[in-house]
């Protein structure tokens, strides 16, 4: 989670130690994104002091030392 000014970014990060078990992007499926959205909503509901912030959900895959970012919302 990162907050900069009025913007809050909630991020899921996936990495794998090698190619043998597939690409980390494969781990970010529609179900994982749904669970990320639900977790963010639950967390934000427990922190009403953050009402009014712009919230963005992202997923990041670390692949061969490089970041690939997926904007969820």
Q: What is the pLDDT of residues 21-30, one digit of tens each?
A: 778 888 888 8
The count of other CB atoms within 10 Å of the CB of residue 61 is: 20
Residue 71 has pLDDT above 80, yes or no: no
Q: Give the HSE-up count for residue 51: Cα atoms under 13 Å, Cβ half-sphere.
A: 4
Q: What is the domain range of residue 50?
A: 2-71
**DSSP secondary structure letter of residue 52:** T
- Say which CATH number the domain at 44 has: 3.40.1350.10
Reported as type and span, the H/E element at residue 9 is strand 7-15
The pTM assigned to this predicted structure is 0.75
Burial environment of residue 22 by CB neighbours within 10 A (0 to 12, 13 to 18, 19 or more): exposed
The total number of structural domains in the chain stands at: 1
Distances (CA, A) of 73 to 20, 33, 37: 30, 10, 9
């Amino acid at each position: 989670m990162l907050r900069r000014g009025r913007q809050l970014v909630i991020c899921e990060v996936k990495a794998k130690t090698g190619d043998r078990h597939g690409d980390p992007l494969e781990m970010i499926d529609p179900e994982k994104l749904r669970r990320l959205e639900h977790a963010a909503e639950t967390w934000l509901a427990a922190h009403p002091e953050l009402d009014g912030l712009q919230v963005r959900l992202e997923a990041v895959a670390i692949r061969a030392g490089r970041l690939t970012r997926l904007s969820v919302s």
